[in-house]
A and B are shown apart, each in its own frame.
Chain A
Amino acid sequence: MKHNGRFGDFGGFYVPEVLIPALEEIEDAFYRFKSDPQFVAELDGLSARYAGRPTPLYFAQRFSEHVGFKVYVKREDLLHGGAHKVNNTLGQGLLAKHMGKTKLIAETGAGQHGLATAMIGALFGMETKIFMGTVDTERQSVNVHKMKLCGAEVIPVVGGTGTLKDAINDALRYWTAHVTDTFYLFGSVCGPHPYPTVVKHFQSPIGTEARAQCLEEVGRLPDMVVACVGGGSNAIGIFSGFVEDKDVKLIGVEAGGEGVRTGKHCATLEIGKVGVFHGSKSYLLQSEEGQIYETHSVSAGLDYPAVGPEHCLLKDTGRVEYVTADDEDVLDAFEIFTKSEGILPALESAHALAYLISQKGKLPAETIAVINLSGRGDKDVGIVEEYRPVQ
């Protein structure tokens, strides 16, 4: 590898030897193509005409009235596929194409990354396999169907807890055996180098656009930027635009699940310990001796016991404040936001909304908050119905 992929002491590439050449190949291609004018033009064109960039920054007036300060919403939910994930799958998919790869594999939790990969597999005519835990295939069955319609093969992963971490385990195992012709399109800013850097790069337009839009439409920078954090790709994407603006407070919201004290949560940065998992050194939810814990969240997309290495560094330096939102507060936020704006937020993104609601009455009315609405909530209607049947 040309770079060590470290964020402070976090990150790195802790993988079996067999995967090193494949990671080196991706690293090499990424640094070769990311500034290549033809590659950039092709990606920009697809981002605009296929995915729908730029996404608007929308002033949520009635929700703002509810919380008592001004909330601007970065509408990543309007992208093709219904989430920010397509930014990354277009970027990595194009990289795979330029590298001459013909097969894609990906892991998925909520199914959004799987769907975004399946879309790109169809777009570029690549054979696509999506690994998904059986708990997730059940709770996100609509996305499974959509992936299949795009021509992808969905491989249900039975092992472990049947969630995202098990999907990654099996995707890595499959990649080990098919490393010469297959591109692993990783979905978040986690995993071994170069993924945290690659995914951040392709998600950074969220932050670049949001900053420019805020200056143009509001006339000044926001006081705070809020995003949910599972692996952390949508958060890194929007934070990257503001991290140098020292007066802009950055808030990352993790899944508190049934409550951090219950043990059923994904509050990795809140109470995790540093360790090495899935190729990267980061905070982890783990036992005293280092076995990885099962996690819980109402949102499949945040259900992961590790977190991106750059978030770990941003936590340690204090640049980003990480908080949690519990399932019940997230469901409240889903209902309140949908009723006040007519926009169904993904349950993942509803964690960020729940944080804003928790600040009701605590912030001056002129406060400007930008929240990354990373995905739309159509996929979650069944889950919400289960928890909170509509009267």
Chain B
Amino acid sequence: MTTYKETFEKLNRTALIPFFVIGDPDFDTSLAVVKAAVDAGADVLELGIPFSDPIADGPTIQKADIRALAAGMTVQKALDFIKQVTDHKPIPIGLLVYYNLVYQYGTEKFLKDFKAAGGSSVLVADLSIDDADEIAIPAKDTGLETVFMVTPVTSDGRAKRIAEKTTGFIYTVSLLGVTGARESLSDMVRPLVTRLKKLTDVPVCVGFGVSTPRHAKEIASAGADGVIIGSKIVKMIEDNLDDKQKMQSEIAAFITQVKAVL
């Protein structure tokens, strides 16, 4: 398994990382969409397991979680889903999950099963660096990489501690707020990426509010190793629930379009 660092170095450009809620709007459609995104050129995938109370997410991803749960998505099925994606094409997969789902499954068993399904890293949305060992230590033992968040209000000292716990990449939150597409890119992005690059060699990927090829290009020019696009893509699923072909082709076209500017 190649590490994120190797993946980013090999690319020699900013990686495109689309985000999907696993099982949105249902298992089969979701799998087809994710495969289409991989085929269209996604470099890394960020996938989320739906949760009843996603406090770090805005309305678009909340609705996706509700759709997926209503269609019967479970943690076990999500792991099967990941296996089917990596069987389709080996691609680094970062998981975004709320802690209670991991906790109930059993942290060590969860990480082991996720690794076996072909996953690369786990980011727990509601687990900060202070309790990070609950996941970082078993993740390391399992051979997974760790991803933690840094935000515009994270101090340098804390960002350094976060970088020390991170083996995969730093998920840089581009703004203050929850996930969601935005008109313009936050002016906090460039200074934050520059600040992080001075502090650490760990790869830096930027997400939250990234909605257009122009945003992605700005993030690339700021020196980020990867750009994560979530709500904008999830909204394309929501907008095409009655036409699954169009859902796939629109998302594939968007990925091609973003990739062209990176």
A and B pair up: yes
Q: Which A residues have a C-beta under 8 Å from some C-beta of B?
A: 1, 4, 12-18, 20-22, 159-160, 165-166, 169, 172-173, 176-180, 273, 275-279, 284, 286, 288-292
Instruction: Indicate which residue in B148, B153, B162 contacts A18 across the interface (CB closer than 8 Å).
Output: B153
> In the complex, are the beta carbons of B69 and A16 less than 8 A apart?
no
**A18 & B99 in contact (Cβ 8 Å cutoff):** no
Taking a contact as CB atoms closer than 8 A, the residue among A21, A173, A277, A290 that contacts B105 in the complex is A290
| B52–A292 touching, CB < 8 Å | yes
Binds A, one of B11-19, B86-94, B120-128, B249-257: B120-128
Measured CB to CB, the closest approach of chain B to A284, in angstroms, equals 7
Cβ contact within 8 Å between B56 and A277: no
Q: Is B158 an interface residue (CB 8 A)?
A: yes
Partner among B55, B103, B155 whose Cβ is within 8 Å of the Cβ of A290: B103
User: Closest 6 interchain pairs by CB?
Assistant: A177-B177, A290-B104, A17-B149, A18-B151, A290-B100, A291-B52
Closest to B58 in A: A173
Report the bound CA distance from A180 to B153 in whole Å.
8
* Distance between A8 CB and nearest chain B CB, rounded to angstroms: 15
A276 close to B100 (CB less than 8 A): yes
Say yes or no: A16-B75 contact (C-beta < 8 A), given A277-B53, A286-B100, A290-B101: no
CB neighbors of A among B54-83 (8 A): 54-58, 62, 69, 74-76
Q: Are the C-beta atoms of A179 and B153 separated by less than 8 Å? A: yes
Asked if residues B53 and A165 are in contact (CB atoms below 8 Å), the reply is yes
B20 within 8 Å of A (CB atoms)? no
Known: A21-B153, A176-B178. 8 other contacts (CB 8 A): A13-B130, A14-B128, A18-B176, A180-B153, A288-B104, A289-B74, A289-B104, A291-B52
A160–B56 Cα distance when bound, in Å, is: 15
Which residue from B105, B131, B150, B151 sits with its C-beta under 8 Å from A14?
A: B131
Q: Which residues on the B side are within 8 Å of A4 (C-beta)?
A: 130
Question: Chain B residues near A20 (CB, 8 Å)?
Answer: 128, 130, 154, 158
Q: Is B95 positioned at the interface, with any CB of A under 8 Å from its CB?
A: no
Please measure, in the bound complex, the distance between the C-alpha atom of A103 and the C-alpha atom of B154, giving whole angstroms. 22
B137-152 to A contact mask, C-beta < 8 Å, 1/0: 0000000000011110
Interface residues on B, range: 35 or more
Inter-chain contacts of A14 with B (CB < 8 A): 99, 126-128, 131
Known: A16-B56, A176-B56, A289-B75. A277 touches B155 (CB 8 A): no
- How distant is A273 from chain B, measured CB to nearest CB, in Å? 8
* A12 in contact with B176 (CB, 8 Å): no
B169 within 8 A of A: no
A292/B100 in contact, CB under 8 A? yes
* B51/A291 in contact, CB under 8 A: yes
CA distance A95 to B101 in the complex (A): 35
18 of the cross-chain contacts (CB-CB < 8 Å) are: A13-B131, A14-B128, A15-B126, A16-B55, A17-B129, A18-B153, A18-B173, A21-B155, A159-B62, A160-B52, A172-B55, A173-B56, A176-B56, A177-B175, A179-B176, A289-B101, A289-B105, A290-B100
B176 nearest CB across to chain A (Å): 5
User: Of B62, B76, B103, B126, which is in contact with the most chain A CB atoms at under 10 Å from its CB?
Assistant: B126
Out of A13, A15, A16, A292, which one reaches B53, CB within 8 Å? Answer: A292
Note all chain B residues with C-beta closer than 8 A to A180.
153, 176
A12 vs B127: C-alpha distance when bound (angstroms): 10
Judging by beta carbons under 8 Å apart, are A17 and B100 in contact? no
How distant is the Cα of A284 from the Cα of B114 in the complex, in angstroms?
25
Residues on B with C-beta less than 8 A from A22 are 153
- Is the beta-carbon distance between B55 and A169 smaller than 8 angstroms? yes
**A185 to B105, alpha carbons, bound, how many Å?**
33
Q: How far is the CB of A306 from chain B (nearest CB, A)?
A: 10
Closest to A21 in B: B153
Q: Is the CB of A17 within 8 A of B55?
A: no
Chain B residue contacts of A17, Cβ below 8 A: 128-129, 148-151, 154, 162, 173
| A123→B191 CA distance, assembly (Å) | 39
Point out the residues of chain A lying under 8 angstroms from B100, CB to CB: 275-277, 284, 286, 290, 292
Query: Knowing A18-B151, A20-B158, A21-B154 touch, does A173 contact B104 (C-beta < 8 A)?
Result: no
> Is A275's CB under 8 angstroms from B55's CB?
no
Contacts A169-B53, A173-B178: A276 and B74 contacting too (C-beta < 8 A)?
no
CB distance from B238 to the nearest CB of A (A): 15
Write out the residue numbers on chain B whose beta carbons fall within 8 Å of the beta carbon of A290.
75, 100-101, 103-105
Residue of B nearest to A20 (CB): B128
For residue B62, which residues in chain A have a CB less than 8 angstroms away from its CB?
Answer: 159
Q: How far is the CA of A346 from the CA of B126 in the complex (A)?
A: 35
Docked CA distance A278–B75 (Å):
20
B53 touches A178 (CB 8 A): no
Tell me, rounded to whole Å, the shortest Cβ–Cβ distance linking B213 to chain A: 25
Q: How long is the Cα–Cα vector from A362 to B233 in the complex, in angstroms?
A: 63
Asked if B105 and A176 sit within 8 Å, CB to CB, the answer is no
Q: How far is the CA of A298 from the CA of B126 in the complex (A)?
A: 31
Q: Nearest-CB distance from B66 to chain A (Å)?
A: 8
Task: State how many angstroms separate the Cβ of B71 from the closest Cβ of chain A.
Answer: 14
Once the chains bind, are A15 and B155 in contact (CB under 8 Å)?
no
* Chain B residues within an 8 Å CB radius of A166: 53
Closest to B76 in A: A289
- Cβ-defined contact, A13 with B128, below 8 A: yes
User: Which of B172-228 touch A at CB < 8 Å?
Assistant: 173, 175-178
Residue of B nearest to A279 (CB): B126
Given contacts A179-B176, A275-B103, A276-B126, contact A16 B149 (CB under 8 A): yes
CB–CB A16/B104 < 8 A = no
Q: With A and B bound together, what is the CA distance between A275 and B76 in angstroms? A: 18
A86 to chain B, nearest CB (A): 27
Chain A residues, Cβ within 8 Å of B129: 17
Question: Chain A residues near B150 (CB, 8 Å)?
Answer: 17
Of all chain A residues, which has the CB nearest B124?
A14
Bound Cα distance A173, B51 (Å): 15
Give, as a whole number of angstroms, the nearest-CB distance from B146 to chain A. Answer: 13
Contacts of B178 in A (CB 8 A): 173, 176-177
